[in-house]
Amino acid sequence: MLSTRNTAIYDAHLNAPEEDNILLLGDNYPDPANDYTIIPYNLGEYETGTINIIDQLGRVVQSYNVNNFERELNVNTVKLEPGIYSYTIHTNDGFTLTKKFAIYR
């Protein structure tokens, strides 16, 4: 766990505590994905951020602006090739968490 100001940063699973001041990036489901996957998140004290989907070559293939009102992102993976991808959440203050997921067809 890293800490800055009043925000703790966790690389979290879905069963992690959902406190408003904790930056969380949950495990996507279903994994492996087929047509879609859902990414749970919590931006903590940050109001907005960005979630990027990154391919194996490091290219951002999808990018989403997110806020603390939704706390889940539904990602359409239909146009993505099968393989391993990363997803990252970025806050306005420069904090980043990253996880991986697979697309299987």
pLDDT reported for residue 3: 39
Mean pLDDT by 10-residue block, N- to C-terminus, for the chain (105 residues)?
A: 44 51 91 95 89 97 92 95 97 91 93
pLDDT reported for residue 45: 84
pLDDT reported for residue 26: 95
- Rounded to two decimals, the pTM is 0.80
How many structural domains are present in the chain? 1
Query: DSSP secondary structure string, 57-97?
Result: TS-EEEEEEEETTT-EEEEE-TTSPSEEEEEEEEETTS-EE
Tell me the CATH number at 55.
Answer: 2.60.40.3080
pLDDT reported for residue 68: 85
Range of the domain at 35: 2-103
Residues 94, 12: Cα–Cα separation, whole Å: 18
